[in-house]
Structure 1
Amino acid sequence: MEQIVNFDAILFPADGRSPSLVQLMTSPMTTPTHHASYTQNPSRMPHPEIHMDYVAENLGPRSWKYQLVEALPYMNRRFACPYIVFYPVISRDGMPFPVNRAIKDIQGQAYSEGQAWRGNVVVAKYRDNPFTSMMDASMADFPIIKNYLQTHGSPGQVCTLLADILIDNS
């Protein structure tokens, strides 16, 4: 039986503290048995919700979304080891998450309230597939992630609105 595996990831806390390394826990994903499953790497479910304050409990991966960062603007090729940015979308009380002040400070004058990153954001690193080949990130990855965050707003605003609609209709 496979166990929980941790990978180093970078946490951008919403309360304005400096980004830091955290342990991103992953667990094996249950997949139907199939002959091809012996030849492929098993998928792992990351659990960034452990590091997300005010996130809805007991929803697991439905409480967060992710954005793949495979290249920066003007790059001719994608990163050999891209990044995956996890952000919360469903809060415990249905209220919006607080604006991520650490990322707001990084964005400086490029900050836009309408595309603000909200809640704690966790950034991990992978090789080929984000759910089969995660690897440890380090603070050496920080400048690349910082560059991405300076030029990209959160995709989470649309997801938050959709999540609200889905919850209201259920």
Structure 2
Amino acid sequence: MEEIVNFEAILFPADGRSPSMVLLMTSPMTAPTHHGSSTQNPSCMPHPEVHMDYIAENLGSRAWKYQLVEALDGMNRKFACPYIIFYPVVSRDGMPFPVNQTIQNIQGQNFNGDQAWRGNIVVAKYHDNPFTSMMDASMADFPIIKNFLLTHGSPGQ
């Protein structure tokens, strides 16, 4: 039996509290390397929903989506270790998630309500592939994520 693996991730709480480090639990899964292949690449299914308030239960990964951050605007090269931002999309009661006040405060005058990040946001780090090579993030990654969030709204649902 394969083990559940946890990775350090950054949580941006919707209620305006300061970002903090959380453990992002993952569970093992296997996925084919390409269509028709019999070999398998070990992957891990992250569970950011554990840190997302009001998210629909029993939907697993269908209740959230993600956005990859491979570079900041103006960069000539991609990050060696990019980021993956998990955000909730299906709430328990069908109502929209609350605007993430922590990110709204970061964006300040750049805040756009039509592209607001909503609910608790979890940011993880990876190398190569987000589902086969996750790694620990740290608060040293915070300025890079803050810079990205400052100029990028949510991709929405």
Shared fold (TM-score, shorter chain, > 0.5): yes
* Aligned residue number for residue 131 of structure 2: 131
| Partner-residue secondary structure (3-state), 1:44 | strand
Q: Which of the pair is proportionally richer in strand?
A: 2
* Aligned residue number for residue 82 of structure 1: 82
Q: In structure 2, which of residues 36, 39, 44 is the aligned counterpart of residue 36 of structure 1?
A: 39
Percentage identity across aligned positions? Answer: 78
Alpha-carbon distance in 2 for matches of 1:139, 1:154: 22
Q: Give the C-alpha shift of residue 30 in structure 1.
A: 4.1
1:121-146 Cα shifts (integer Å, max 9, x gaps)? 00000000000000000000000000
| Partner-residue secondary structure (3-state), 1:43 | strand
Alignment: residue pair count: 154
Q: Give the C-alpha shift of residue 3 in structure 1.
A: 1.2
| Partner-residue secondary structure (3-state), 1:122 | strand
What is the root-mean-square deviation in Å for CA atoms of aligned residues? 1.3
> Is residue 2:116 matched to residue 1:116?
yes
* Aligned residue number for residue 23 of structure 2: 23
Alpha-carbon distance in 2 for matches of 1:29, 1:118: 28
Alpha-carbon distance in 2 for matches of 1:98, 1:3: 34
1:11-63 Cα shifts (integer Å, max 9, x gaps)? 0000000000000000011446x6522xx4x1100000000000000000000
Which runs of no fewer than 5 residues in structure 2 stay unpaired?
none
1:93-143 Cα shifts (integer Å, max 9, x gaps)? 000000000000000000000000000000000000000000000000000
| Partner-residue secondary structure (3-state), 1:97 | coil
Alpha-carbon distance in 1 for matches of 2:13, 2:71: 24
Which runs of no fewer than 5 residues in structure 1 stay unpaired?
160-170
TM-score, normalisation: structure 2: 0.95
Q: Which of the pair is proportionally richer in helix?
A: 1
TM-score, normalisation: structure 1: 0.88
* Aligned residue number for residue 163 of structure 1: none
